[in-house]
Amino acid sequence: MKKFRIAVLLLLVLQTTRFFSQEKDTKESHPLPPIITFQNSIHDLGQIEQGEMIITTYSFTNTGKSPLIISSIEPEEDCTILSGWKKTPINIGEVNEFNVVFNSINVTNKQKRKIFVYCNTKEEKETVQLLVDVKPVNASSPEAKAIESIKLENNAYKNELDLMDQAVEHLYTREKDEERIRIKKYTILKEQIAVQKLEEENVKKRIHENVSKKKTDRIRKKENRIDENEKKMALAKKEREEIQRLNAENRRKKEAEIKARLEKKQILAAAIQERAKARKLEVEERRLKLSEINKNVEEQVELEKAKKLKVEKQEKIRLQKEAERLAKIEAERKKETERLAKLEAEKQEKIRLQKEA
């Protein structure tokens, strides 16, 4: 009976040791880590206009000798990861992908962004790159005003997300501290059990050396202590199970919160993209209207010019005709003057001849 109780204690200690070394055993069970191979680790998006949002897809394959597990994907600023990669282990030779959205609202000229993939490879972190050349818009154009308003909305949205991240980080830190305290208590209890185990082994040796009545009473006391220790072990086991249950619940809640936050980010990103498209269409319509107005104005100016030239030409023709008429009148007046002078001369000649006669 005593040997059986000691064996049960040893079994419980081994189980608790196995619980704390579970992660290490999991890593040792796969001596060959997976290898993630990207189809193209550098994506060059070329030249785009400021305010555009571009989506690009990174495809990868597990070329290693064990399943690939991606824990998270974190991009640099102005980039957003759309959920879509496989959360469960990716088998050997299996192909998967994830999408990255680049928002050019806050940047201009040539840009370079890195996306970090955290997984169970040997390096534990893989990096891909995104290259783009953002063409800035004219500061006085309607597009610049639309981009400025979107920037203000993005800053407000970013501040809201920062506040949410700080709240989640505070909650996670508090839960982590509570978990550390529970583990410390469990470690102290484990050490106490180990000390009691040594005492029980000493008692066993004394039992083999002396079987007197006095020693038998001590053995009975030790057995009672062993029973008490078994009860403590049972309580410790229940507490450990409760800790595991609480950790699982906290993990599920945290995953649900993170998932909800990511979905909200995706919805907001989609809304911003739709809004940007609508703004772009509105700006394009305004541009077309302005070009049409300019065209109409140019046509009106051309018509006015043609009308003015026509009037000037008619006025010139009228003046020419008036000059010809005046010249004709002047010539007739000159002829009449000459005719009158001739008649006057004839009259004078006739008077002179009469006087001489």
Q: What is the mean pLDDT of the chain?
A: 81
97-113 confidence digits (pLDDT tens): 988 888 887 888 888 99
What residues have CB less than 8 Å from 227, skipping those under 6 apart? none
317-356 confidence digits (pLDDT tens): 988 988 888 888 988 888 988 888 889 888 888 888 888 8
Residue 356 or residue 153, greater confidence: 356
CB count, 10 Å around CB of 229? 21
Tell me what the mean pLDDT of segment 7-17 comes to.
58
pLDDT at 197: 79
- Pair of tokens at residue 85: 């990669």
Amino acid at 133: D
Residue 128 or residue 29, greater confidence: 128
Label residue 87 left, alpha or beta by phi (over 0 means left) and psi (-120 to 50 means alpha). alpha
pLDDT at 9: 59
Query: Strand 53-62 vs strand 70-75: parallel, antiparallel, or unpaired?
Result: unpaired
pLDDT band at 27, cuts 50/70/90?
very low
Name residue, tokens 């065209």: 295
pLDDT at 23: 46
What residues have CB less than 8 Å from 65, skipping those under 6 apart? 32, 34, 92
pLDDT band at 116, cuts 50/70/90?
very high
Q: Residue 94's closest CA among 75, 69, 124, 119?
A: 69
Query: Can you tell me the distance from the alpha carbon of 290 to that of 210, in angstroms, rounded to the nearest whole number?
Result: 111
Give rounded-to-5 percent helix, strand, coil for the chain.
65, 20, 15
Give backbone dihedrals phi and psi of 307, rounded to 5 degrees, phi first: -65, -40
pLDDT at 37: 92
Label residue 51 left, alpha or beta by phi (over 0 means left) and psi (-120 to 50 means alpha). left
pLDDT band at 14, cuts 50/70/90?
low
Q: Which of 159-173, 188-202, 266-280 has the lowest mean pLDDT?
A: 159-173
pLDDT band at 62, cuts 50/70/90?
very high
pLDDT at 61: 93
Residue 259 CA to its chain's centroid (Å): 16
**Residues 162-179: b if buried by 16+ CB within 10 A, e if exposed:** eeeeeeeeeeeeebeeee
Q: Does residue 5 register a pLDDT over 70?
A: no
Which range of 190-194, 209-213, 274-278 scores highest in mean pLDDT? It is: 274-278
pLDDT at 28: 46
Residue 156 or residue 187, greater confidence: 187
Give backbone dihedrals phi and psi of 84, rounded to 5 degrees, phi first: 165, -20
Count CA atoms within 13 Å of residue 10 on its CB side.
9
Reported as type and span, the H/E element at residue 115 is strand 109-119
Q: Are 34 and 62 in contact (CB under 8 A)?
A: yes
Q: Does residue 151 register a pLDDT over 70?
A: no
Amino acid at 25: D
Tell me what the mean pLDDT of segment 220-244 comes to.
84
